[in-house]
Chain A
Amino acid sequence: MAFRSRRSVVALARAAVLAIALGACGRGDGGAGSGAGKTLYVLIGANTQYPQEQQAWQKEISDKFRAQTGATVKWEMFSSANDELTKIQTSVVSGTGPDVCAVGTTLTPTAYSTKAFVKFGDKEWAKIGGKDKFIPSALGISGPDDSNQVGIPWVGRPFVMVYNTELLKAAGIEKPATSWDELTRQAKQLTKGDQYGLAVAYKDNYDPWKFVWGMAAQAGNPLVDGKTARIADPTVEKAYQTYFGWLTTDKVVDPAAVGWTNAQALAAFARGKTGYFALTSALAAKALDAGEVKGKWAFALLPTVPPGATSRPANGVEAASILSGDNLLVADYSKNKDLAFQFVMLITDQDAQVDIYRKLGQLPANAKAAASLLSDPKLAAVVEAQRKSVATPFTGAWADIQLALTNVVVQSIPDLAKGAVSDAALASKLDAAQKASQSALNRAK
């Protein structure tokens, strides 16, 4: 009894201290219901490639929403994944903040684990126009299962390869590679003089794990099996060996790539001296058209046959890309939920989805809108990649696992630069990643 009352006092003290600390950050919520005089707060990422176009799109959506409901939309922007996470954390703790948040797909499991967002049942899906209007694969990372979904698919950014059509033609390559081994072979064919077969962003903090996850999933290892991490596994080891081997043994990558981020690798490809850039998205089109490769590039699906194989094993998954893009979340603390649902319906309907692609290059999650883009030959591969995207494991521990996978590459860069990452060094780093991942999975609730 005394213990319980002591806990209550501690909780009360925390609440008082927090109330003072967050007082200045708080914001009055609008009243219940929907309509004129109310304000809906929406958190979305700043589009650094199309900033003016994004502002115009926001204004247009705000005007439409006001015409429909009489309510005003106030936009809050985040500039990076860290900024996004910080804003969401603050909202979760304080119980006040944006009514609608657009979060990256890989952040959805983390957001789900906070229990701060509305779970979508039949009633909620109906309010936004039904679940059927979305591409089925886009719902793959909305929740752990069909009855526990919080993320509403909004836009997709599937990962693809981009290749230099002229260089491939000159090397006698008729079509882009469909297996990782074929990609390596073609890259060797393309490498000569100051020309390289592949551009890879080894120093990027987000790219490396995507290769490893994709190759392992194709080989039948989803990296997380229930509550067990499968990082110290031959499929993962083979994935890293392939990824490092492009530089160390195959020598199809510019040695300077050990210092490249994704943007630098894209810039290197855009100079026109590289056959493939192995991980990019449709958003790169603008930068590609501004480079030496204008009119000489095309997107292609990433290989879907694991390294060392000519076909996928029976338990392998045709993972062309991680399920990438943004999901919309409606805050559970919101006092304007109905307005939020109306807003979500507005921006996920077919017309709005085609419009956001035209203005900002973001692929629709709406099935009809996506189908209408298939006629564009430049986009066919990207839309196909979206259809063949596979969700990363839906666990609150995913952030740790992603970090552990990336850390293997970060700590291997000195060896990579010297020309060899030994099996022993790789095994030791995989053991460390396995421990970190398993520890995170053990904590998952």
Chain B
Amino acid sequence: MAGPTTRAVAPGDVGPVATPPECEGRSRGWRGAARGRQRHPLWLLLPGGVLITLIIIIPLLLAIDISLIDLDQYTLRTWLAAPFVGLQNFVEAFSSGLPRAIWISVSFAVISTVATVPLGVAAALVTQNRYRGRAWVRAAFLVPYVLPSFVVATVWRTMLQPDGIVNAMLAVVGIDGGLWLSGPNSYWTLILVEIWAAWPFVYLMALAGLQSVDGEVHEACAIDGASWWLKLRSVILPYLRGPVLLACLLATLNHINNFTLPYVLFGAPAPDDVNVMPMLVYVTSFQTLRFGLSAAMAIVSLLIIAVPLFVYLRALRLDVHEEGGRK
């Protein structure tokens, strides 16, 4: 059934829009419509445009520029005249630990996301129906999310000391906890703490998805006599697909970009097993003072993050207006 085009015209959208059928034959033609759009107050975009330029475009241009020059403490003061080295910083980045840092960051982010999804969805389902004390449960679920990352990392670091409370409790049941903050275990510590801190985000997104399920759907399931499992699998979870996929994307990007958690948990220099990209960029920039090299690493990180984001947005055509119109 071909209906009229429902796509909303965003401010500044100058592309041709199909004319609704009911408008065809009217005296006002394409030129009239174009004139109408020209009257859109595009100047309203100016504040946002200025902010984006200041906050995103200029720093990005600076980062790209710095990644192409030999900028360190010796050339910092006269950085305008710092030697241009082309892609040399990128070549050095790939031969000085960046590939390993990428692997650690990506695997850490993916594992953390995969682990937080079932936790978040389960928590959302548990708090969907009304019951006595639900508000308290919902508030408790949000505690890890509202705590500053610095506080979370500090508390966990204290608990995970070799003579800390975690090892003391494990010792009671005869388990030697060993080292949590050094060596190979540090990787799993980072994932554990990240999961603890991040799962409420998935919970919030899943809860928002659950709230958008129409009451009629629940009624229809009840009338048809669907079991809870069938209802969950075939009716509820498909509703959650969009919000949870979006949560996965955002959470993964957050995990990859997380600097505070590994920095406070492990300090710098960090154990090799948790030398994630943000840590490597930080140490290169602020401890070894190789600003050009660290800018190259940061650009590579940005590209790595941009690829899945771009693919996701293209694949799902994530658009508020379209999603809003799709039911």
Contacts and interface: CB of A to CB of B under 8 A. Distances in A.
B77 A116 contact: yes
B58 A17 contact: yes
Interface string B246-274: 00000000000000000000011111100
A129 interface: no
A239 B149 CA distance: 37
B269 A89 contact: no
Contacts of B268: 205
B76 A92 contact: yes
Helix, strand, loop or mixed for chain B's interface?
loop
B62 A18 contact: yes
A255 B161 CA distance: 11
Given A113-B74, A403-B269, A407-B269, A259 B179 contact: yes
Contacts of B12: none
Interface string B44-56: 0000000000100
Contact of B271 (A21, A411, A440): A411
A403 B76 contact: no
Contact of A93 (B54, B77, B272, B289): B77
A37 to B, nearest CB: 29
Contact of B162 (A82, A110, A256): A256
Contact of B74 (A396, A406, A414): A396
Nearest to B185: A414
A259 B163 contact: yes
A47 interface: no
Contacts of B65: 14, 17
A443 interface: yes
Interface string B287-316: 111000000000000000000000000000
A259 B162 contact: yes
A443 B72 contact: yes
A374 B65 CA distance: 55
Contacts of A440: 288
A203 interface: yes
Contacts of B58: 17, 20-21
Q: Which of A85, A203, A259 has the most CB of B within 10 A?
A: A259
A237 interface: no
A445 B288 contact: no
A404 to B, nearest CB: 9
B182 A413 contact: yes
Interface residues of B, number: 36
Interface string B74-113: 1011011100100000000000000000000000000000
A82 to B, nearest CB: 6
A324 B76 CA distance: 26
A417 interface: yes
A425 interface: no
A417 B288 contact: no
Contacts of B184: 414
Nearest to B282: A82
Given A259-B179, A417-B179, A440-B288, A205 B62 contact: no
Contacts of A399: 287-289
A431 to B, nearest CB: 15
A192 interface: no
A410 interface: yes
Contacts of A126: none
A443 B163 CA distance: 42
A203 B182 contact: yes
Contacts of A254: 163
B157 to A, nearest CB: 9
A86 B269 contact: no
Interface in B137-158: none
A114 interface: yes
A17 B54 CA distance: 10
A403 B283 CA distance: 9
Contacts of A20: 54, 58
B77 A406 contact: no
B61 interface: yes
A89 B76 contact: yes
Contacts of B205: none
Given A20-B58, A254-B163, A259-B179, 6 more contacts: A85-B286, A116-B76, A255-B162, A256-B162, A258-B162, A410-B182
Interface of B: 54, 58-59, 61-62, 65, 72-74, 76-77, 79-81, 84, 161-164, 178-179, 181-184, 267-272, 283, 286-289
Interface of A: 7, 10-11, 14-15, 17-18, 20-21, 82, 85-86, 89, 92-93, 95, 110, 113-116, 203, 205, 254-256, 258-259, 264, 396, 399-400, 403, 406-407, 410-411, 413-414, 417, 440, 443-445
16 contacts: A7-B84, A17-B65, A21-B54, A110-B73, A114-B73, A116-B76, A205-B268, A258-B162, A259-B162, A259-B179, A407-B269, A413-B183, A414-B182, A414-B183, A440-B288, A443-B72
Closest 9 CB pairs of A and B: A414-B183, A256-B163, A413-B182, A259-B162, A445-B74, A11-B80, A259-B161, A407-B269, A256-B162
